[in-house]
């Protein structure tokens, strides 16, 4: 497992200690959530771009491609 260093204000560190915050767990969860959010956003942008590309293809072309793919099986 990799370690990271985070700088925080002294008063926040005191509060963390007083409250018994599990810094590693909270940090790990926050980073995992942010990575998930960014991946989801990236996927949404890719889907939107793909949707735009597919919209420019005439329906007849899509039907033709599907039929040709079926016939190859």
Nearest Cα to 6, choosing from 27, 29, 36, 33? 27
Q: Give the pLDDT confidence score for residue 54 in this predicted structure.
A: 86
Task: DSSP letter for 54, please.
Answer: H
Task: DSSP letter for 17, please.
Answer: H
Q: Give the pLDDT confidence score for residue 14 in this predicted structure.
A: 98
Q: Give the pLDDT confidence score for residue 49 in this predicted structure.
A: 93
* Location of structure tokens 């990271």: 4
Q: Tell me the pLDDT tens digit for each residue of 3-61.
A: 999 999 999 999 999 999 999 999 999 999 999 999 999 999 999 999 988 888 898 99
């Amino acid at each position: 497992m990799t370690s990271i260093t985070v700088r925080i204000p002294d008063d926040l560190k005191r509060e963390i200690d007083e409250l018994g915050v599990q810094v590693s767990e909270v940090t790990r969860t926050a980073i995992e959530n942010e990575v998930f959010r960014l991946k989801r956003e990236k996927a949404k942008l890719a889907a939107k771009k793909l949707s735009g590309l597919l919209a420019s293809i005439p329906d007849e072309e899509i039907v033709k491609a599907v039929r040709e793919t079926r016939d190859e099986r």
